[in-house]
Amino acid sequence: MKFFINNKYNKHILAIVTGAVILCFMALYNTFPMTFNSDSATYLNTAFSHGVTAHRPILYGLFMIFVSLGYSLWLVIGAQALIVSLVVYYFFAYFTPAKYRVAWFICYITLISFFMGGSFNVSWLMPDVFTPVCIMCMGLLLFAPQMSLRDLLVLSLILVVSIAMHNSHFYICMFLAVLLLLGSLLKSIKEKFNNAGIKLKKIVLVILLLVISNLFLSLVHYTYGGGFKASRGGPIFLMGNLVEMGLIDTYLAENCDQKQYELCAYKDSIPNNFLWAENSPIYIGGWGSNKDEYTSIIKDIVTTPKYLKAVVFKSAILSIKQFFHFDTGEAEVPKEWVSNTIIHLYPNHGERFLNARQSTDRLGFNFVNHTQKLIWAACLLACIIIFMLGKMEIKYRLLIVFILLALFINAAICGSFSGAYPRYQSRVVWLLPLPLLLYAAGKLDIKKMFRLIIGNERKKE
Amino acid sequence: MGAIVLCFAGLNNKFPLLTESSGIYINSGFTKEAPSDRPLLYGIFVAHSSWGKSLWLTIFSQALMLSLVLFYYFQYFSNSRYHVVLFAAYIFFITFFTPVSVWVSSISPSIFLSIAVLSSGLMLFAKKLSRRDYLILAGVIVFSCGIDVSYMLIISSLILLISVIFLFTRKNKSLAKISSGKRLSEIIFFAVLGWLISTLLLFLTGGNASTVYELNVSMLQNLPGINADVYSAILDETETFKALFHRYNDDVREFYLSWQRFEFLNINIYFYSQVFVLLLCLCLFIYFRKHLTGTLSYCLFVYFSLACIILLLISITGGDITGFKNTLTWILSLPIYFYIFKAENIEIIKKYIKTIHIPDSKTSYINT
């Protein structure tokens, strides 16, 4: 056993597997992988029926089907946990000395699994877990010094696949990459980038991978008869958010006299949950047939200064709101058709699914939500203090900026285009302690710290 | 940034927090008619600070005012060169361990009592107050006391009590740091001025002065009841919802999606943790009392404690002690915080961090 652990590669593998098991905590506690609303079942159904829907990419459904081997959804959770564990481990491998690497890695995994939403996201049958994965892959490709070819290929592959899992990923990562590219064009920032090892060619490589991912998803959709198009339902999601902002009410009230939109017939009865309410006018004709009309309304709104001003103001509020709105635990009791889908596709696990804590309404998230808020606040404060003092090594400071930017861009894109919902921010909020822990692992002598505390205590005695 | 963090409860709720009386204030601000059981100034503040557009701007204004007053505290009273860092840390502390963020994020005047007490404390104890800051603080006191007659009474009683102690026992250690006796009269003047302006405003809008000097027509009777329960779901039939619908129609859909509306709001934790914070502060005060005596932290602690006691007495005479969860106890943490993070202690912490810090290295760790 000792020989097994002492072997360099076995040690890495053992650490990653241990991390993955800890990350599955919420699924193990629930006694079954968790589902979200109707979405998890929709992903499975569309992939099984080989049909591309108007509002979601098909890739996550395919991922679930292939990885589960049509046998068990535990394999999906296992794969998600392994991917997250691997990428996090890469961070510790590139940023911390070997001596306490595994200990620090397990420490971080434990923190995000038991006290933040990390384990919940891994244990959920939703593509949300791939958002932090693509942000971390981007971070590694940009910041990791002297990356080996093997690691470069592995991370590039994970980045390409994880971006294709959800509509928002491409925009979040592209926005982030373009910001970095613009930064590298400014002399003062370029110098800082050079000191931190962020080279222009690395940024270009990331952008190239993003484009490849988009093409890859388009190709997958084309193969399944959904046309050569990656993003699905963009204008409809934006329309839903404009309804929630209250702008569509104003727009229709002021314009229905001159413009003959079909939506005008429903202007006094548009439900708040425009996208998913059964009585929503969107379901008279469906997503596809309403797309042109909604696109034209959106175009009119964003090209009219009066409405644009309101859109910008509301989007800013939504972005800030989304940044601060990150409660974990959107796992309500599954609806009947979700249960039916799971039982139909995985009949050997039907009973376990029906007896799970989520299905029997025995799941609570108050503790995790409270600790998550406190950890988030402590980390944000630490980041602010670091920037006020300005004494930390530039590489770590830029890594903090990168993570904070990613968190804010995620909030801005999700908040502005889809609405402020806790799951959008809860999926990435557990990345905030990562750069701080990497710094602590690489730059603080923890042993000496404890020795000093104990020493002081002894002196006092 | 401090103001944004202070709005955390509102941002987390996805909409400013509303109480059943928020609607009364919103309506009175637009109609300029004094409600029968509330003062008018806060309603006007809501209407103007929101620009008639969004209640987010109102809670941000409240947060900005509190953040500014707290910032002045650190600027004038902290002897550490890291006072901005300490200020940021304190803002995070009160946001996540006390219900301050809940009050700041509410369409309710309750936060102005804390602002009034803090501003008067600053004016009383800050010796080298610049002219600009003096005028700003005076404005804040005038405005906060004008919000409610009970705030004016609390501040006036507090200052009168301090004056009596100051007159008879000039060498009293608890008041050793008062900048000058003149300031005592100035604060009372500003508090009364606020009340007079509020009365004048009421006359100008055709109201009756009795609505500002009758004690039962103020926040006073509602103070004891301020706790997590007042933030229950606002239903469509309530005056608050109707006011929101008529005055901020664009915000109604946003409100429909808020946690408060869905009854998902979980703010009890802040009220519980405040109790622990209060107990901790009292324990620390007793533990350090020998070192604290005569220091600024000691004077501030006595001043804030007196303010809390006056509020408590008023609540008892108001007949409701059971629901007493006042809006003021959190400020007791401020003087203790100053004491813990005084410059000497910061230097010790700095030295400690330096000792455990490993020097920078540019090598990759992957091969080690």
Cβ distance B366 to A146 less than 8 Å, yes or no, reads yes
Which among B304, B327, B281 has a CA at the least distance from the CA of B73? B304
Compute the distance between CA of residue B42 and CA of residue B206 in angstroms, rounded to an integer. 17
pLDDT tens for residues B64-80? 999 999 999 998 888 77
Please report the pLDDT score of residue B321 as a whole number. Answer: 46
Are residues A245 and B358, on separate chains, in Cβ contact within 8 Å? no
Q: Helix, strand, or coil here: A273?
A: coil
Q: Give A214 to chain B, closest Cα distance, Å.
A: 31
* Closest approach of A395 to chain B, Cα-based (Å): 9
Instruction: Check B360 against A444: CB less than 8 A apart.
Output: no
Can you tell me the distance from the alpha carbon of A147 to that of A252, in angstroms, rounded to the nearest whole number?
55
B262 at interface of A, judged by CB pairs closer than 8 A: no
Which member of A246, A320, A325 has the closest CB to residue B250?
Answer: A246
pLDDT at site A1: 54
Q: Nearest residue of B to residue A330 by CA position?
A: B264
Rounded to an integer, the average pLDDT of A93-113 is: 89
pTM of the predicted model, to two decimals?
Answer: 0.84
Give the CA dihedral B222, B227, B232, B234, nearest 10 degrees. Answer: 40
Domain segments of chain B as ranges: 2-367
Nearest CA-CA distance, residue B124 and chain A, Å: 30
Please report the pLDDT score of residue B230 as a whole number: 64
Q: How many CB pairs below 8 Å do chains A and B form together?
A: 104
In sequence order, what DSSP letters do the residues of B72-135 get, joined into one string?
Answer: HHHHHH--STTHHHHHHHHHHHHHHHSTHHHHHTBSSTTHHHHHHHHHHHHHHH-TT--HHHHH
Here the contacts of B90-94 (C-beta below 8 Å, separation 24 or greater) are B90/B334, B90/B337, B91/B2, B91/B5, B91/B6, B91/B67, B92/A377, B92/A378, B92/A380, B92/A381, B92/B5, B93/B333, B93/B337, B94/B6, B94/B330, B94/B333
Contact A385 B1 (CB under 8 A): no
pLDDT at A285 over 80: no
pLDDT digits (tens, 9 = 90+) for A133-164: 999 999 999 988 888 899 999 999 999 999 99
- Mean pLDDT is lowest, of A1-15, A409-423, A444-458, B117-131, for A444-458
Residue B358 to residue A442, Cβ atoms within 8 A: yes
ipTM summary value: 0.77
Q: What is the pLDDT along chain B (368 residues), one digit of tens a residue?
A: 888 989 998 888 888 988 888 888 888 888 877 776 677 788 888 888 888 888 889 999 999 999 999 999 998 888 778 888 889 999 999 998 888 998 899 888 888 889 999 999 888 888 888 889 889 988 998 888 888 777 888 888 888 888 887 777 666 555 656 666 778 888 888 888 888 887 787 777 766 555 455 554 455 555 444 455 567 767 777 777 777 777 777 777 778 878 888 877 778 888 888 888 888 988 888 888 888 777 888 888 888 888 888 887 777 665 454 444 567 888 888 888 888 887 777 888 878 777 777 665 544 455 44
Provide, as residue numbers in chain B, all residues whose Cβ is less than 8 Å from the Cβ of A419: 257
Token digits for A242? 């404009």
Task: For residue B14, give the nearest of A98, A321, A369 by CB distance.
Answer: A321
Looking at A173-177, A301-305, A361-365, B342-346, which range is the least confident one?
Answer: B342-346
Contact A98 B56 (CB under 8 A): no
Contact list, B249 vs chain A (CB under 8 Å) = 246, 249
Chain A neighbors of B368, CB-CB under 8 A: 97-99
CB–CB contact A249 B85 (8 Å): no
Find, among A172, A138, A170, the residue nearest to A156 by Cα: A138
Asked if residue B34 lies in contact with residue B205, where contact means CB atoms within 8 angstroms, the answer is yes
For residue B353, the distance in angstroms to the closest alpha carbon of chain A comes to: 8
Give the angle B118-B66-B284 at the CA atoms, nearest 5°.
55
Q: Does B14 touch chain A (CB under 8 A)?
A: yes
Is it the case that residue A314 has pLDDT exceeding 90? no
B residues 197..226 contacting A (CB < 8 A): none
SS3 B50: coil
- Contact criterion met (CB < 8 Å) for B88 and A246: no
pLDDT tops 90 at residue A120: yes
Q: Do A97 and B365 touch (CB under 8 A)?
A: yes
| pLDDT band at residue A172 using 50, 70 and 90 as cut-offs | very high
Q: Does B270 touch chain A (CB under 8 A)?
A: no
**Whether B4 and A93 lie within 8 Å, measured CB to CB:** no
Which one is predicted more confidently, B219 or A277? A277
Task: Quote the mean pLDDT of chain A.
Answer: 86
More confident residue, A459 or A35: A35
CB contacts, 8 Å: A245 with chain B: 250, 253-254
Which residues on A lie below 8 Å from B255 (Cβ)? none
User: What mean pLDDT comes out for the span A389-404?
Assistant: 87
**Greater model confidence, A301 or B244:** A301
* B92–A381 CB contact, under 8 Å: yes
